[in-house]
Structure 1
Amino acid sequence: MNNGTKLGVAAGVVVLGTAIAFVSTNSAQGKIPYTDAKAVSAGKTIYQNECASCHGADLKGEPDWQKRDENGYLPAPPHDVSGHTWHHDDQLLFKLTKFGVQSIAGKEYKSNMPAFEKKLTDEQIWHVLAYIKSEWPKDLAQRHTEMVNNK
């Protein structure tokens, strides 16, 4: 094998590895498993333990969630239909949960939302999102899924 062939093989391995990493990271895009009873049940437990203290056990969020406090922070928004969670596609919801709001909105954005990157696995985050989405009216959940898949 000459140097050109070796370089070509090495480049192919790098490209293949990058493709596999991309697919494994993004394979759940548009696929919040909200119709999977096991995922929803697991997500509900995680939500109650990790999210309900701010977003409410009933997904209703904190009072006056659209009004910043004296320090410039917004209260935790609801995840039911009265909020805006359903306006965001699956991948954005995942990224906000895993990496925190500031990863999307910028470091200057004031948010009490922690990043769960070191606390929850990707699968656990998808399960929490499945629980939240399972609580929306079926027609809204379906529209949300269609919105994501038509991007």
Structure 2
Amino acid sequence: MTRSHILTFGFILIVGVSVLAFTLGATFEKPNIAKQPEKSSVEAGEMLYAENCASCHGVQLEGEPNWRSPKDDGSLPAPPHDRTGHTWHHGDALLFNYTKFGGQAALEASGVTNFNSGMPSFADLLSDQEIWDILAFIKSTWPERMRETQRGRTLGEQMEDGT
């Protein structure tokens, strides 16, 4: 097994454990709506994405180069949000909280303390609705099969949360 495979496996394991722990009960604020509100605007989200996300995640949602390989500080480069990434593997509540509170807070709330996330919190920069609009834009770029899978993850979060 190459170093690259080991790092990729380690990252997938950490993210998987994080997602599981998060969905079983994170200690920080949950969104008022655990799924994408119907009134979300893909158009507004596209503009907000360009202003707030594209500098790291790419103008075409392509992510940073070598996004699976850790940087010198141990954090991973920003992943793609297009169909080549893993964003569509996560439910709405996780995506919302990861964006609002930042990756480090989301990971620490789920018990992962040995992972350095470079994702900042946008709680002071974006309203909840603006975060939902950005997520609506990102999701609008995925093929239907991926959107369907992501909707299933959101339903799973809701069942676990009782909403």
TM-score interval (norm. to shorter)? 0.7 to 0.9
Counterpart residue number, 1:116: 122
Distance 2:148 2:60 in 1: 21
Distance 2:143 2:104 in 1: 29
Counterpart residue number, 1:30: 35
State the 1:144 CA deviation: 1.4
- Unaligned runs of 5+ residues in structure 2 are 1-28
Query: Percentage identity across aligned positions?
Result: 43
State the 1:73 CA deviation: 1.5
Letter in 2 for 1:132: I
Moved more, 67-76 or 137-146: 137-146
- Provide Cα deviations, 1:100-123, integer angstroms capped at 9, x if missing partner: 001121265322211000000000
Match of 1:73 among 72, 75, 84: 75
Secondary structure of the corresponding residue to residue 128 of structure 1: helix
Greater CA radius of gyration, 1 or 2? 1
Counterpart residue number, 2:142: 136
Contact 1:31 1:145 in 2 (8 A): no
- Provide Cα deviations, 1:51-104, integer angstroms capped at 9, x if missing partner: 000000100100100100122121000001111101111000000000000112
Counterpart residue number, 1:53: 55
Aligned length: 125
Distance 1:96 1:134 in 2: 19
Distance 1:32 1:113 in 2: 23
1:86 aligned to 2:88? yes
- Unaligned runs of 5+ residues in structure 1 are 1-21
Distance 1:146 1:55 in 2: 24
Distance 1:90 1:147 in 2: 8
Distance 1:146 1:83 in 2: 17
